[in-house]
Structure 1
């Protein structure tokens, strides 16, 4: 099997020859800085996956605004109300011949995908993520109650723009999957209620997800923290999968898989064990092995590899990953 065949076989709960060896998120800059002091060659970060012998999973993050707008401090917002939003609209939701879907980049991605040796995916900023980014973390949470019209306006305009972006991307190829960046959960669960999700997010997913499905693109939610309570919300919205399923936040994929057997998942390898030695790392792979054998699950670090992990420990992790990649294929996935 080539990389794409393997990905789609697993996502379709079909037999596969091994798991992909992948990092769905790039490495933390602090992690790479540490590794360079421990012998990692001084090569571009974009070449690290090849250096480590990983399968190619090539992502493009599609930004909803240009970079001419001054960036606020992390956690702060660009706007505080609808007047402020109106003022920055010249920077929002643009679509030109070269921005934000760069033709040269997407021609390269399409060529790699056509070879069968790369899985191509893209990310859009979703209906929790973008309003939070525009308003700032705390004001965003108040805005559900204090500025509902603004919240709906942002998400409606984002939806209209997304539909155009998807069609533009599909002029080059049909990506293997996409993610909605949301990060709507933390270590104690979702940061909004089911009712708020249904009012402010679900109507927009119901416009976008069918369009992606018609285009043949798999849909996956990217939300950190404990997503357990929201899995059913995403399933009701027609979304196919979730990542990264952070173990340290209390996520238990075995329980989620029991309740949602057709959902697809990426991640869930507890990054907090990666600096505890081979025995701990092997035990974590053993925990995930029964789930991986079922199909519909791509184990991977449940977020970026933290800087507490040495280069030597990361090599041990990859060696074990390759071992368990074949163990997962040793028996056929369960019929579904």
Structure 2
């Protein structure tokens, strides 16, 4: 499994995904809460020694480099952000997606709120609302792509030794995610049954739009992977049944994945929190290669998932953040439990989401040190 020959970030990633020998497994992480940044600063960390964009890598913790092609898959123009009401404790705002939300001000740190917002209103309630909001999703706009990307970035992409990803995190939005963003979770869950024509039209549009926006990039370069962000599950299971997924999303997902893989995308990964196990067979049938982040509080155990679904499903994440808040012995024991997957391949361990503020700087440094031992086969 392990070789002494040093590999580039890109080759290390590909070899891990293909169950081939590596010098070590890639060192990836996601990020931290703003409140965690404050805690670590109080514990002695110089905030400005870090970049805090952990998806692209963080030299301070020896993370591997990844480059994300900053394609804008969102509304152009977005809604004008507006504060509708503000008190000492909360504010009610209309955000760039046209969602009206009530947000707690208390505890906010570095742009991160200490609690979920309360969602009050969404821009789409029926098919006419959706057809109106589609006007903000014109695909063929130069502003959707990085400035001068063909002249400056494209030559580097073609000669890269690092991992190249299509779209920033949470930009290449999937089917459930976009529908939820337009309608809200509860309304979407009813709409599969109450407004099926709307939902079919939405799902078809999402596939068409994503393909059309991606095409100018994929016409010029290949990429190593794309994340399709969904967040379509909660702790006890998906927010839609496999039958509902198969009726509304699956045909469009197949078309989208087929497009990506026939246009130079090596791997397709689905990002969903919660327990998505019931939907994994359909994701795999559609051609999905990997899932992330395998939230342990939702019983997404990577050892169990590998035994059930085999090597065709690559696994990213799976490190229980609750264990990192405990003792060093707990951290060692938890990482040791993942070693069989490290030896087997097709697994990149990361914290199963962003790092919360109950994890001390000392514990996180210890975790990163011991994780590097794990990634190198020296645990």
Quote the residue 1:300 is aligned against: 350
In structure 2, the residue corresponding to 1:124 is in which secondary structure? Answer: coil
Q: Give matches, 1:194-209, under 5 Å.
A: 194-209=242-257
- Name structure 2 gaps, 5 residues minimum: 1-6, 81-94, 102-116
Matched, 1:65 2:70: no
Larger RCO: 1 or 2 (CA < 8 Å, sep 6+): 1
In the alignment, is residue 311 of structure 1 matched against residue 361 of structure 2?
yes
For the pair 1:12 / 2:22, whether they are aligned, the reply is: no
- Whether the 8 Å CA contact 2:292–2:317 is kept in 1: the answer is yes
The structure whose Rg is larger is 2
2:92 alignment counterpart = none
Q: Describe how 1:72-221 pairs up with structure 2 within 5 A.
A: 72=99, 73=101, 74=117, 75=119, 76-99=121-144, 101-104=145-148, 107-108=152-153, 111=156, 114-122=159-167, 123-171=171-219, 173-217=221-265, 218-221=267-270
Aligned-CA RMSD value: 2.2
* Cα drift, residue 121 of structure 1: 4.2
Residues 317 and 352, structure 2, Cα contact 8 Å, conserved in 1: yes
Q: 1:42 aligns with which of 23, 43, 47?
A: 47
**Partner Cα distance (1:169, 1:26) in 2:** 27
Q: Distance in 1 between matches of 2:272 and 2:16?
A: 21
State which of 28, 34, 46 in structure 2 corresponds to 1:29. Answer: 34
The aligned counterpart of 2:339 is 289
Q: Secondary structure at the match of 1:160?
A: helix
**1:267 partnered with 2:317:** yes
* Comparing 164-173 and 142-151, the one that deviates more: 164-173
CA distance in 2, matches of 1:302, 1:278: 18
List structure 1 segments (4+ residues) > 6 angstroms apart after TM superposition: none
What's the TM-score, normalizing by structure 2?
A: 0.80
TM-score of the pair, normalised by structure 1: 0.90
Residue of 228, 231, 249 corresponding to 2:280 = 231
The correspondence for 1:254, drawn from 276, 279, 303, is 303
Aligned-pair distance for 1:278? 1.3
Contact 1:65-1:94 at 8 Å conserved across structures:
no
CA deviation profile, 1:133-191 (whole Å, cap 9, x unmatched)? 10011111111011111111111111111112222222453221011111111110111
In the alignment, is residue 53 of structure 1 matched against residue 62 of structure 2? yes
Q: Distance in 1 between matches of 2:154 and 2:351?
A: 24
Q: How far has the Cα of 1:204 moved from its partner?
A: 0.5
Across the two proteins, how many residue pairs are aligned to each other? 327
Q: Would the alpha carbon gap of residues 179 and 324 (structure 1) be closer, same or farther in structure 2, given more than 3 Å must change?
A: same
